[in-house]
Amino acid sequence: MKFLSIIIPVYNVEKYIRPCLESIFRQGLNEEDFEVIIVNDGTKDNSMVVIKDIIIQHTNITIINQQNQGLSRARNKGMEKATGEYLLFVDSDDLLISNTLPFLVKIAIESQADIIVADYFQKTDKEIEVFLKNDYPSKELPIEINEKSGENLFLEELTTHQTSIWRSLHKKSFLQNNHISFIPNIIYEDVPFTNECFLKASKCLRVKYPFYLYRVGHSSLTSFFTKDKAFDYCVSIAKTWELSSSIEGLSVDLKNKLNNEIFELFSSLICWTVHSIKNRQERIQIIDHMRLQAPNLNLGNGTKQKLICYMYRRFPHTYINLRFIYGIIMENNLLPFYRLKLKRILK
């Protein structure tokens, strides 16, 4: 068995896939110890052509070709084929910082932790160019490692809009034993996946060590909020909500944190809907789809949550219409600082 499997779904990323793949082979890892699984998700551009020479040069790259089925199915297919003890999911438009993986792999193998959560930098294309020219890291960084239970990791580290899976190494046997995979045919698949992992993990490591470059400022799945994306988000919220009843033995603190997080996700859905969906009928369809996915959504942490959930369950159309009017009158016209907050959420 190899120590690590790196899974990269590829779809229409010919501008970014080469630097992504090159960064993986700047890690100083022995090629016998890790594998790279590239899932060609029916890309329509030259993504596979521009990396053909890299594929030929290395013996530890596996290519899976499939018709376009979406990011979730591509990742699941990579998981099925992976032989590594640990899995790393890398987005094809991002990069790894040179020579950082060996340390993370070493502590993963030594600790046998279920999840290792590390740090990342968020940078634009131009900032990444400057970063790479400086060949970071040029010197060793101070490293802080804290062992945590999955419960503590969930309570202390997980935030509503920081559920990205690419910042973590996941033990393959942990995912298999707990039957954790990505929900097919939706985007925002990181949300229920990360929540379930944290809630079910026993031993985790939180490593204050940056190894990942997350590229921002270019077109992506979440650039424009549409009705179809809203439908996907409804599924993501509903599947996360189901965790509160499907996982036994959750403490009161865990349930409260999960409820608060789901309420934040729900609030984001409504916020995006009223500000991005101009058609009234589509807004109605979105709230109806949310009701279809989670008809009994009941978040009781405080008066505000109770009131909103009551309106959502009993008068969903009235609720979304009133929320739209409030968004137009208050948030757009009377609260200019809110627009800045919304802009940050929508990034």
**Ranges for all domains in the chain classified under CATH 3.90.550.10:** 2-215
Can you tell me the distance from the alpha carbon of 31 to that of 84, in angstroms, rounded to the nearest whole number?
12
Q: pLDDT value at position 207?
A: 95
Residue range 288-326, pLDDT digits in tens: 999 999 988 887 678 888 899 899 999 999 999 999 988
CATH class of the 2-215 domain in this structure:
alpha beta
pLDDT along the chain (347 residues), means of 10: 95 96 95 97 96 96 95 95 98 94 96 96 91 67 87 86 88 97 88 93 95 80 75 94 88 89 91 90 97 86 86 93 81 52 48
Residue range 197-218, pLDDT digits in tens: 999 999 999 999 999 999 987 6
Q: pLDDT value at position 180?
A: 96
Q: Which two tokens stand for residue 192?
A: 């229920």
Farthest CA pair distance, the chain:
61
Residue range 99-113, pLDDT digits in tens: 999 999 999 999 999
**The model scores a pTM over 0.85:** yes
Q: pLDDT value at position 140?
A: 60
What's the chain's average pLDDT? 89
Q: Which two tokens stand for residue 42?
A: 């029916």
Contact 250, 199 (CB under 8 A): yes
**Coil vs helix vs strand at 21:** helix
Q: Label residue 28 left, alpha or beta by phi (over 0 means left) and psi (-120 to 50 means alpha).
A: left
Burial (0-12, 13-18, 19+ Cβ within 10 Å), 267: middle
Sign of the CA dihedral with 86 first, then 20, 196, and 258 last = positive
Q: pLDDT value at position 220?
A: 46
